[in-house]
């Protein structure tokens, strides 16, 4: 889902079961070492 820049990160957070986008962002950063937006930016390069 992060590969599609048309989907807001908040919508992705809700879609995967998080009640708050911030919780998703913190969990993603723990797993991936970068925030979802940083990960998305890295996909463009």
Q: What is the pLDDT of residues 7-44, one digit of tens each?
A: 999 999 999 999 999 999 999 999 999 999 999 999 88
The pLDDT value recorded for residue 33 is 97
pTM of this prediction?
0.89
* Per-residue tokens: 28: 């993603």
The pLDDT value recorded for residue 37 is 96
Report residue 45's pLDDT band, with 50, 70 and 90 as the boundaries.
confident
Contacts of 42-45 with C-beta under 8 Å, sequence gap 24+, read 43/2, 43/3
The pLDDT value recorded for residue 44 is 81
30 alpha carbon, distance to own chain's centre: 12
Sequence ranges of the domains in the chain? 9-44
């Amino acid at each position: 889902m992060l590969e599609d820049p048309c989907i807001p990160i908040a919508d992705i957070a809700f879609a995967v079961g998080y009640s708050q986008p911030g919780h998703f962002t913190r969990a993603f950063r723990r797993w991936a070492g970068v925030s979802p937006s940083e990960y998305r930016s890295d996909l463009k390069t």
